[in-house]
């Protein structure tokens, strides 16, 4: 997995991208929603930056997929926790949760994989909120 600076636009975008690809199906409605919400501008990415982060994430996940035949199977709790740990600024966490949640809801179906990533984010960043869900 690539190393991004803590609280960097790329680190934040990677979490949004992970929700986007976690179920193995990126719908047009999800992409359109993120475009409408101006994901690149919101996270401080240059034009085309979000697509680059998605591509890089897919490449990183494919490196670990050869033994499991699944891009996301090796994303266990410690790995997800590590990715979530790269975002420490509350305002950035809020943006990531908003963007990732909007993408997950865009196709009117919350896949188990999307829910899992969102739950880890909530439990790491807002334990009191996650406990009530």
Give a yes or no: residue 1 inside a domain.
no
Domain count, the chain: 1
Instruction: Give the predicted TM-score (pTM) of the model.
Output: 0.88
Give a yes or no: residue 123 inside a domain.
yes
pLDDT at residue 74 is higher than 60 = no
Q: What is the pLDDT of residues 97-130, one digit of tens each?
A: 999 999 999 999 999 999 999 999 998 998 654 5
| Residue numbers of the domain that contains 128 | 9-132
How far apart, in whole angstroms, are the C-alpha atoms of residue 21 and residue 29?
A: 13
How far apart, in whole angstroms, are the C-alpha atoms of residue 101 and residue 94?
A: 10
What pLDDT sits at residue 20?
Answer: 94
Give a yes or no: residue 2 inside a domain.
no
**71 or 34: whose pLDDT is higher?**
34
Confidence of residue 78 (pLDDT cuts 50, 70, 90): confident
């Amino acid at each position: 997995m690539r190393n991004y600076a803590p609280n960097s636009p790329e680190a934040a975008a990677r979490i949004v991208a992970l929700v986007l690809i976690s179920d193995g199906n990126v719908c047009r409605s999800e992409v359109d929603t993120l475009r409408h919400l101006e994901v690149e501008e919101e996270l401080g990415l240059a034009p085309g930056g979000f697509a680059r982060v998605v591509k890089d994430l897919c490449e990183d996940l494919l490196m670990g997929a050869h033994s499991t035949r699944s891009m996301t199977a090796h994303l266990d709790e410690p790995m997800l926790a590590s990715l979530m740990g790269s975002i420490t600024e509350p305002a950035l966490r809020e943006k990531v949760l908003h963007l990732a949640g909007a993408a997950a809801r865009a196709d009117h179906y919350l896949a188990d994989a999307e829910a899992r990533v969102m739950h880890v984010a909530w439990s790491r960043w807002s334990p009191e909120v996650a406990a009530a869900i």
